[in-house]
Structure 1
Amino acid sequence: MKIAVVVNSLKIGGMERVAVNLASAYQNNGHEVDLIYLKNRRVELRPDNPAIPVSLIDVKKGVLQTGIGILWLILCRFSNLLMRKTYSLFFAYAEARIFAKKLAQMEKEAGKPFDLIIFRGHGTFEHVWPLQDSRFVFVCESVQAQEHYGFLSRWAFSHLYGKRNMVCISQGVLDNFQQMMQRYQFLPAKTALISNPIEFDRIESYPVGSRETLHSKPFILGLGRLNPVKNFPLLIQAYHRLIQQHEIAQDLVIVGDGKERERLEKMVDELQLRDRVFFKGAQNPPYAWFHHADLFVLSSMSEGLGMVIIEALACGTTVVATNCPGGVTDIMQGELGQYLAKMTPEALAEKMWFALNAKQNDAYNDCVARSLAQFDGKQIVNTFIDEFADIHSN
């Protein structure tokens, strides 16, 4: 099969890493795959295999180069002042035309069409939603706000998702999506539950070096984009409570970057934790950080799946996570469920202390192995092909 995996950008982020992983999984299983991104930003992630083409279809630039596209952009910006969050929906009428044209050019140059075109994330398929193509599969990566488009939500969601091939990456995301179907009365062409692939071979073979090359002392790790959804203030508050109640040796190391960093650093100063909490910026790949951490803590308000949890477990690291909406409980099942915490500093600190002192047994290790087996790349590729066999057989 010939597959295209499409994502908004290739900056460092969970969804972007999953797009790269999926492209690699298709290639590793004997399929021909292209990785396409839509925003002209610096490429921070790409497949290890140079045989996978990475192509930019700069839809915004393509619109503006038409001349009249500048006027359309101004009109869409103006509409956004009157109707919140509608800019991307309306500008997509022009962007979709550019995408279709560029995609057709790629197929002509390759001498054959794509059998399956997989779009990762809501922000990605916002650019192309006016197109109707039976080969398109839209993958929902996160729990979607029910009133995202205000009074236009019913119209927007029915046009975005109605009569589409949809994939949800976790049971929590699927439950949220089905609630939206009922609320806004739209019906997809098909809805499937297919998780995200992880490159276990790459994790296993990655050189992790010594802990001292990363940080001078033992550490607890928080990792992710520094934005409100990841809820790093909760992690810092829980850590502060933990060191007040217990004489732990571990520092708190936060790996990631984003618009919340200044606020978080100010919070660290206010709690007088400057000598215990350290910001290391974005690191790619993060496997060495997981491997050397005494504990990884996810403090998110919601997670579509929780790729960082899977990676941490694959690196042999104990994980504590908030029991948040989304896919965390798809991973943290059985013995792992005892490491889930309510979203309060007290509860999270208590679970962190429990995890730092827990002795892992065979039942725990077996549970980790069963959980990780869900995210095998070959299994996920085959599930995609089986679920959408009617598309690529036409």
Structure 2
Amino acid sequence: MRILFVIDGLPGGGAEKVVITLAEQFLREGEHVSLFSLRDVCEYPLPDNLDYRVIADRCRKPWRKITELTRRARQLDNAIKEAEKEGPFDLVVSHLHKTDRIVSRSAILKHRNLWFCLHGVFSASYLGHRTGFSRWQKQQKIKRVYQHRNVVTVSDAVGRDLVEQCGVTPAQLKTIYNPFDIAAIRASADAPCEMAGQDYLIHVGRFHPAKRHDRLIEAYAKSGITAPLLLLGQGKPEQEAKLRELAARLGVGERVIFKGFQPNPWMWMKHARLLVVSSDSEGFGNVLVEALLLGTPVVSTRCPGGVTEILTDEFERGLADLNSDALARTLQSIYDNPPPIDAQRLKKFSVETICHQYRQLSSS
């Protein structure tokens, strides 16, 4: 089986990690895997035997923005022609919206088994708070890419949002959760951690407005929990400065610890008393599954996206409404009385299970 993944670069993000995890597993299973990146950015180690190609745009003409999508689709087609000298791709999966806009204009891929994988909730990330004509315009742009196309979404909620909020009618719509290499995550978590044996809370995620670190810090201050709060992630310096000022103003500045980006977040997650997500939306919620795989209880806002599909049954106690008061109460509750974690329930997220579901797309 010949598989092609296309993505707009490989910086340290969740969708990018999903692609690398899928590629590694398919290669282990003996498949031929190509990964085309539309930018020369890669912060992940690439697996052996991966056919990795960068299709960077070198155009510097004044009108380059106007012609970008068509020009880059043509560049992509040229790379596919070269790669397919060894045979056509059986499955092509495009990841992230900027990539999708280019891939949707590919002439060659109209005749391939092409799927668009959506990792986020469009109504939150793309439509935002737009109303009226501005919102309609954005919806039309989304429709131009996905209408009557094959679409995979990382949660049922992402798929519902595409249909109900964006008015898209896909040719096929399937949910495939994000994959997790469970053995690799647990092995990485066994690395020595300076916080082992100490009580602390942890948040893992970049400093982005949608992650709502401000809500997290406010909830932490209100919770009365004295164990420190570790923030693993990074962003613009001015964002971090605002969060440090907020923590100081709320009297928890000495207990909110900024650890920056950590290449191995799992060892920190394993030893935490609990992990918290405070976002306004999450396409899936990778860190929630990762923490549970490591035996760490979780708390999350009940935000649009896949969170409520992960935190079901006894885990549902860890869901909080989208405000700092509710999040503070839930932090207290789970900190004092965490639910049991049944590892068997998490096998549905294993990379082996998820790759099998992607294989089935080749016969859809």
Would the TM-score normalized by the shorter structure come out above 0.5?
yes
Instruction: State which of 119, 122, 133 in structure 2 corresponds to 1:141.
Output: 119
2:101 match: 126
CA distance in 1, matches of 2:101, 2:206: 22
Spell out the pairing of 1:318-337 with structure 2 (5 A cutoff): 318-337=297-316
CA distance in 2, matches of 1:106, 1:274: 54
1:141-176 Cα offsets, whole Å, 9 max, x none, are: 110027477443343222100231111110111110
**Count of paired positions:** 352
SS in structure 2 at match of 1:71: coil
CA distance in 2, matches of 1:191, 1:300: 26
Is the contact made by 2:121 and 2:305 (CA closer than 8 Å) also made in structure 1? yes
Question: Structure 1 114/126 Cα, relative in aligned 2: closer, same or farther at 3 Å?
Answer: same
CA distance in 2, matches of 1:291, 1:165: 37
CA distance in 1, matches of 2:230, 2:72: 41
1:365 and 2:350 matched = no
Q: What amino acid does structure 1 have at the position aligned with 2:74?
A: R
2:140 match: 155
SS in structure 1 at match of 2:259: strand
CA distance in 1, matches of 2:254, 2:196: 13
CA distance in 1, matches of 2:291, 2:348: 15
Instruction: State which of 290, 306, 311 in structure 1 corresponds to 2:269.
Output: 290
SS in structure 2 at match of 1:203: helix
Q: What amino acid does structure 2 have at the position aligned with 1:144?
A: F
Question: Structure 1 215/9 Cα, relative in aligned 2: closer, same or farther at 3 Å?
Answer: farther
Spell out the pairing of 1:224-243 with structure 2 (5 A cutoff): 224-243=205-224
Is the contact made by 1:229 and 1:301 (CA closer than 8 Å) also made in structure 2? yes
Is the contact made by 1:4 and 1:34 (CA closer than 8 Å) also made in structure 2? yes
CA distance in 2, matches of 1:217, 1:385: 43
Task: Give the gaps of 5 or more residues in structure 1.
Answer: 77-89
2:291 match: 312
Query: Per-residue deviation at 1:38?
Result: 1.2
2:355 match: 381
Q: What amino acid does structure 1 have at the position aligned with 2:199?
A: P
Query: Per-residue deviation at 1:189?
Result: 2.2
What's the TM-score once normalised by structure 1's chain length? 0.83
2:172 match: 190
What's the TM-score once normalised by structure 2's chain length? 0.90
1:170 match: 155
Spell out the pairing of 1:206-245 with structure 2 (5 A cutoff): 206=188, 208-212=190-194, 214=195, 217-243=198-224
Q: What amino acid does structure 2 have at the position aligned with 1:308?
A: V
2:43 match: 44
Query: Per-residue deviation at 1:222?
Result: 0.7
Query: Per-residue deviation at 1:215?
Result: 7.9
Question: Structure 1 156/29 Cα, relative in aligned 2: closer, same or farther at 3 Å?
Answer: same
2:51 match: 53
Q: What amino acid does structure 2 have at the position aligned with 1:161?
A: Y
Is the contact made by 1:192 and 1:387 (CA closer than 8 Å) also made in structure 2? no
Is the contact made by 1:217 and 1:251 (CA closer than 8 Å) also made in structure 2? no
2:76 match: 99
2:131 match: none
SS in structure 1 at match of 2:62: helix
SS in structure 1 at match of 2:288: helix
1:153-207 Cα offsets, whole Å, 9 max, x none, are: 34322210023111111011111012146x3xx4322211111111111012225
1:17 match: 17
1:266-316 Cα offsets, whole Å, 9 max, x none, are: 222322322111111111231111111111000010111101111111111
Is the contact made by 1:255 and 1:282 (CA closer than 8 Å) also made in structure 2? yes
Is the contact made by 2:189 and 2:268 (CA closer than 8 Å) also made in structure 1? no
SS in structure 1 at match of 2:341: helix
CA distance in 2, matches of 1:240, 1:54: 46
Is the contact made by 1:324 and 1:343 (CA closer than 8 Å) also made in structure 2? yes
CA distance in 1, matches of 2:82, 2:100: 20
SS in structure 1 at match of 2:6: strand
2:186 match: 204
Question: Structure 1 153/205 Cα, relative in aligned 2: closer, same or farther at 3 Å?
Answer: same
Q: What amino acid does structure 2 have at the position aligned with 1:156?
A: K
Question: Structure 1 192/388 Cα, relative in aligned 2: closer, same or farther at 3 Å?
Answer: farther
Query: Per-residue deviation at 1:25?
Result: 2.2
Q: What amino acid does structure 1 have at the position aligned with 2:349?
A: F
Question: Structure 1 258/126 Cα, relative in aligned 2: closer, same or farther at 3 Å?
Answer: farther
Is the contact made by 1:166 and 1:190 (CA closer than 8 Å) also made in structure 2? yes
Query: Per-residue deviation at 1:256?
Result: 0.5
Superposed CA RMSD:
2.1
1:83 match: none
Task: Give the gaps of 5 or more residues in structure 2.
Answer: 129-133
